[in-house]
Structure 1
């Protein structure tokens, strides 16, 4: 595996290739990242991963400084996974001056759910993703379905800016008990880790209720939130939305449950977890 820290070095390494397949990460890698890398190796003529903890997508009170940096472990995992090129820019490499030009995503998609509870988050995501795309110039870019809204925002950005990148969504990788793999799972102690599976269980119960014919979505969502809160969680949202645009189903349209997705975000202690399940 070759490693580039500067944009010029990266472009020199990529010069012989025509269709890079790219996986952007913030490091602290897990098997979900490696599954995306395996898919990338089957798509392009060179597989590229990036490790960059992007300050722009963290709110002032969030965990930018404490976000786990596991460089040696990440490099070993990427090399074992067959990554061809790792792009690991320093902050001064990717942001050599204050990033005053930013990508403002469509608020209809980016200011709801995650964007409501983390205002400005998707501006930070889109800005760094566009910049990474300009550095790597991938033919394919792979994102995990666990970050459901994020991959939708990126996909819409690519479409509206006519970027020559095909966005590929990889299925959520889960632990044996059903918990979605996430870098932030490492914050959980043993008791919290055992409790964390209640989030996907709550989403599954919510989806099952809709699949079973219940259409009082507001009541269902409130019940799901109360159930988690009773266990000590602090829910931000547990909600049923349309897959197409993440808006609530229109009255009379919830019967088409095949077009819906259940999404949730909740804090367990100091750790905020997200997940989703397509119904």
Structure 2
């Protein structure tokens, strides 16, 4: 496993491998890796000949400076975790390498996709996601890129961006990985105390509650009950939305097949997100 820090070097390696007919899989990450990331690696290993994991804490997708400053950076631990899992390259560029002085931001209108949920509460976030993902895809030029379904809205944005710019890559969605008790694995969990991890389980149990009661109540009524349950456990709910799986339009009176319940809530100072197919 080799660590590469420049766009030119990773492009040279990929060019040589593609000449040999190798299929390239990319797993974009911001580091602080965990078993959820390894599940992406394992899925990529089943479908690709060469696995590249990028590790880059992208400053343009943080609308809160303290969140960026506190984001865990654990590159050596990340390298150790990836060792033995079939990863050929770790691409760990600097900010200057990803965003050189002549960098031009991509112009794209996300429409409603960028205005609801994460887009509403984290202005500018998805513009930053588009910037870094587009830059990574164009730098590495993989055949497939792997993303976890925990970032449900982000996946919708990435699908839209890839289609909009006609980037020749397959976007592969991978299931959410949870702890034994149901907490969605996240790099941010490193910032939670053991007591807070216990407290945060209410997000998962609330999603299960919503799923179990779709025949008994409207989406609007269940969203209200979900907020009450999460807040009663001591978390601060930012939003609970039950949405159309493609348009992300909020459902109110009627259920549709594929409806997804999405949650964002603060546990202490740590912002957590999760989702579940409920309809």
Q: Say yes or no: TM over 0.5.
A: yes
Q: Does 1:163 align with 2:161?
A: no
Report deviation, 1:42.
1.8
Compared with structure 1, are the counterparts of its residues 109 and 62 closer, same or farther at alpha carbon in structure 2 (3 Å cutoff)?
Answer: farther
* Post-superposition CA distance 1:228-267 (Å, at most 9, x none): 112221101112111121112364x41x3x3211110000
- In structure 1, the partner of 2:5 is 5
**Does the 8 Å CA contact 1:126/1:154 hold for their aligned counterparts?**
yes
TM-score by length of 2: 0.94
**Bigger mean CA offset, 191-200 vs 93-102:** 93-102
- Distance, in Å, in 1 between the alignment partners of 2:96 and 2:261 is 39
**Matched residues in 1 for 2:139 and 2:98: separation?**
9
| 1:81-230 correspondence to structure 2 within 5 Å | 81-97=85-101, 99-210=103-214, 212-215=215-218, 217-230=219-232
RMSD: 1.5
Distance 1:168 1:101 in 2: 25
Residue equivalent to 2:241: 239
SS for the counterpart of 1:93 is helix
Aligned length: 274
Residue 264 (structure 1) aligns with: 263
Where structure 1 has 5 or more consecutive residues not aligned to the other structure, the ranges are: none
Determine the C-alpha separation between the residues in 2 that align with 1:115 and 1:207: 25
Q: Which residue of 1 is the match for residue 56 of structure 2?
A: 52
Normalised TM-score (structure 1): 0.94
**Aligned 8 A contact 1:141 1:168 in 2:** yes
- How far residue 99 of structure 1 moved from its aligned partner, in angstroms, is 4.6
Distance in 1 between residues matched to 2:181 and 2:108, nearest whole Å: 38
**In the TM superposition, what whole-angstrom CA distance separates every residue of 1:150-187 from its partner, at most 9, and x where no partner exists?**
01110111112111000000000000000000000011
Q: Distance in 1 between matches of 2:103 and 2:230?
A: 39
Q: Does 1:71 align with 2:70?
A: no
Which 4+ runs in 1 deviate beyond 3 A? 102-105
Q: Tell me how far apart the structure 1 counterparts of residues 15 and 135 of structure 2 sit (CA, whole Å).
A: 18
Query: How many angstroms apart in 2 are the aligned matches of 1:189 and 1:138?
Result: 37
1:193-226: CA deviation from partner (whole Å, max 9, x where unpaired): 111111111111112211x2322x2222112112
